[in-house]
Amino acid sequence: MFTVRIQSAPFDAACEAAALSDGRQDVGALVTFTGLCRADDAAPEAGGRLVALTLEHYPGMAEEEIARHVEEARRRWPLMGATVIHRHGRIVPGEPIVLVVTASAHRGAAFAAAEFLMDWLKTSAPFWKQEEREAATGWVDAKAADDDAAGRWDPLP
């Protein structure tokens, strides 16, 4: 089962993970990654405490771009299922933003595929975070570290 969803509502990570293994006897490894909105205290001159993130996305392309990377993950590793959910809209600290679940017979494939999907989500899924701080609002800059993380996956021939 391979699922990609873009939604504003929160998701139930447990329920999504269970859906990939319940009733099956061939899944040996299930990896669940949840990315959450962190409270972060910037200096007052940098806007102060984070109040919320608002995620803008490119409807249509977001689903398609993530689905392309899920297909790529399936070419690279023997996956029995994967679920990717990315939220948009306003999200406050402590709330989940993104979920990646991968199911495989063995842990190596499940871990690698989950990291691969997260690295590509960060750099190529068309989402943009706007920070709402106590004293300022602004767009989050892309991180070179995320480009580096995505770059570690060599292209398949």
Partner 1 sequence: MKIRYFAWVRERVGVEAEEIELPAGVATLADLAAFLARRGENYAHAFENPRVVRAAIDRVHARPEAPIAGAREIAFFPPMTGG
Applying CB under 8 A, which residues contact partner 1?
35, 55-58, 60-62, 64-65, 86, 97-98, 118, 121-130, 139-143, 146
End-to-end CA distance of the chain: 26
Q: What does DSSP say about strands 96-104 and 79-87: parallel, antiparallel, or unpaired?
A: antiparallel
Give the range of 8-16, 58-66, 70-78, 130-138 binding a second copy by CB under 8 A.
8-16
Three-state DSSP state, 109: helix
For the CB of residue 41, give the shortest distance to a second copy in the complex, in Å.
10
Report which DSSP code applies to 95: S
Position 136 contacts a second copy (CB under 8 A): no
Write out the binding residues for a second copy, residues 28-87 only, by CB under 8 A.
28-39
Q: Cα 141 from chain centroid?
A: 17
Residue 69 tokens, joined: 């990377």
Which CB sits closer to a second copy, 48 or 60?
48
For the CB of residue 147, give the shortest distance to partner 1 in the complex, in Å.
8
